[in-house]
Amino acid sequence: MRPDEARPRLAALGFRPDDVETLADHFLDAERRGSLGHGLSRIAWLETWEALPVDARPERRVEEPGYELWDGCGALGYLTLAAAVEAQLAAPPERARVVVCTRTFPTGALGYWTRKLAEGGLVALLTATSPRRLPPPGGGEPLTGTNPLSIAIPSRDGAPVVSDVSMGAVTHGDVLAGRALPEELVPFGGEQAHKAFALAVGLQLLVDALTPDDGFGAVLIVARPEADPVPGFRSLAAGARLPGDRR
Amino acid sequence: MRPDEARPRLAALGFRPDDVETLADHFLDAERRGSLGHGLSRIAWLETWEALPVDARPERRVEEPGYELWDGCGALGYLTLAAAVEAQLAAPPERARVVVCTRTFPTGALGYWTRKLAEGGLVALLTATSPRRLPPPGGGEPLTGTNPLSIAIPSRDGAPVVSDVSMGAVTHGDVLAGRALPEELVPFGGEQAHKAFALAVGLQLLVDALTPDDGFGAVLIVARPEADPVPGFRSLAAGARLPGDRR
């Protein structure tokens, strides 16, 4: 699929014009950053859905200074995260806020969302669940999603630092595309895969415990920075490529 | 050092009786769980300090429903985390709270603190910084601490699940004890060490951005659970050992 096909094909699926923009921007950004599993291939994937929830809208069910609960209400998770992120940028927390998104799937490239928050001056930490695909390192049935964790830190003098790490050794997209074998979709780390598995379990149960509904969800922490560590860190790294920098 | 020596030796260092209890409980628990680098060896380490801040007390500088800022004020980080954790259990958040601990070092075995919160019914996520010891996977100067991430989830019907993962392939304690070589203290994951490094960078800058003072710190998120996922997860795991379970 060519980049210029993204918007017409999303529109043809019945999405409203502003949702077409939201989805296309996410998929095209993933494509540019080389996260092909979160990119344009997802439009072809959406075209296989029997009934796309193009009319569903996410709702903010709880709104407090330090806590929000968003409900996907059947909408695509991308749109729920987009609405929740936009709301944080429009009304940032005085200090910090925990934002729980229930019934929220799929969530795409988490670094896309945390980068938006960091570009708006906020520190962000985001994780999300997805279908269980990672077995424990000793083998067995899959117990957790690949459960990425993304952290983004704004910088007053330039680009934010954005880390975005899946706990899988390969992505589900790699398996679908034939770039990896299904048995390679295990916690990353080789001999130390128990560490990535423990992170995946912790993040899985964190989301499952904080979302009131069954199913997939996301947990986001946003906060105003009290310091500006990125320039000093980049200087210490002396030109080394940092997470989230373009290759 | 024998376990029964812990309290007399801490008392001999000049710590107040309640601080002796707090410190001994942490070190003895780490010892029982096999985290020897966080255990009794730390008492011998404290005995090498030129001036132990036995009279310093942590202070809560900001107290809001969804945010607290604690300042170690020169006290040992163990005592700052102990005070912050006790305060959360005494007055849990209505929904969720971000607790930042500035000038807080050393912080010990993070799973010890998150387990206390989960045993009190709260979901907890905790990370903390420490001296820079991890170089990037391509080599170079150390850029981040080992920056562990611990997540604990309470369960209404039994033990919480407690994950606690350092981003280092070995611990600094292993190096000090001669169980590992200094050059083995790198991000874990072998060929995928860039993932553990990206996590370490994200956690490092998260703490550095949220703490107003230079130096080491900790960031804790506590929340009331909206669901009870642990029993179902243990059932799905069918007896597999989960993070934090006794070996």
Distance (Å) of CA B112 to CA A57, B1, B99: 41, 21, 17
Q: CB–CB of B112/B120 below 8 Å?
A: no
Residues A60-116 have pLDDT tens digits of 999 999 999 999 999 999 999 999 999 999 999 999 999 999 999 999 999 999 999
Does residue B30 sit in the same domain as residue B149? no
- Distance to chain A for B158, nearest Cα, Å: 15
- Distance to chain A for B161, nearest Cα, Å: 8
In a domain, B247, yes or no: no
- Quote the CA–CA distance of A150 and A163 in Å, as a whole number: 5
The confidence score (pLDDT) of residue B174 equals 85
Note whether A82 contacts B: Cβ–Cβ < 8 A: no
The confidence score (pLDDT) of residue B233 equals 97
Does residue B26 sit in the same domain as residue B111? no
A243–B202: do the CB atoms touch at under 8 Å?
yes
Residues A110-143 have pLDDT tens digits of 999 999 999 999 999 999 999 999 999 999 999 9
Residue B153: its chain A contacts at CB < 8 A? 202, 205-206, 208-209
Does residue A169 sit in the same domain as residue A185? yes
CATH of the domain at B191: 3.30.1370.60
DSSP state of A7: H
Does residue B146 sit in the same domain as residue B48? no
Note whether B183 contacts A: Cβ–Cβ < 8 A: no
pLDDT at A157 over 90: no
A65–B62: do the CB atoms touch at under 8 Å?
no
CB pairs under 8 A between A and B: 223
Note whether A100 contacts B: Cβ–Cβ < 8 A: yes
In a domain, B123, yes or no: yes
Substitution target in B69, B174, B201 with the highest count of A β-carbons within 10 Å is B201
In a domain, B203, yes or no: yes
- ipTM of the assembly? 0.98
Residue A189: its chain B contacts at CB < 8 A? 188-190, 192, 195-196
- Of B34, B55, B76, which residue is a domain's last? B55
Q: CB–CB of A185/A169 below 8 Å?
A: yes
In a domain, B14, yes or no: yes
- Distance to chain B for A17, nearest Cα, Å: 35
In a domain, A243, yes or no: no
Q: What is the pLDDT along chain B (247 residues), one digit of tens a residue?
A: 899 999 999 999 999 999 999 999 999 999 999 998 899 999 999 999 999 999 999 999 999 999 999 999 999 999 999 999 999 999 999 999 999 999 999 999 999 999 999 999 999 999 999 999 999 999 999 999 999 999 999 999 889 999 999 999 999 888 887 889 999 999 999 999 999 999 999 999 999 999 999 999 999 999 999 999 999 999 999 988 899 987 6
Q: CB–CB of B90/B83 below 8 Å?
A: no
CATH of the domain at A19: 1.10.1530
Instruction: Count up the domains in chain B and report the number.
Output: 2
A165–B62: do the CB atoms touch at under 8 Å?
no
Note whether B206 contacts A: Cβ–Cβ < 8 A: yes
- Quote the CA–CA distance of A102 and B42 in Å, as a whole number: 43
Does residue B29 sit in the same domain as residue B96? no
In a domain, B143, yes or no: yes
Note whether A215 contacts B: Cβ–Cβ < 8 A: no
B202–A123: do the CB atoms touch at under 8 Å?
no
The confidence score (pLDDT) of residue B33 equals 94
Domain containing A107 equals 56-237
B123–A209: do the CB atoms touch at under 8 Å?
yes
Does residue B73 sit in the same domain as residue B191? yes
Does residue A16 sit in the same domain as residue A70? no
The DSSP line for B89-133 is HHS--SSEEEEEEES------HHHHHHHHHHTT-EEEEEE--S--
In a domain, B244, yes or no: no
- Distance to chain A for B107, nearest Cα, Å: 19
User: By CA distance, what is A206's nearest residue in B?
Assistant: B153
- Distance to chain B for A179, nearest Cα, Å: 17
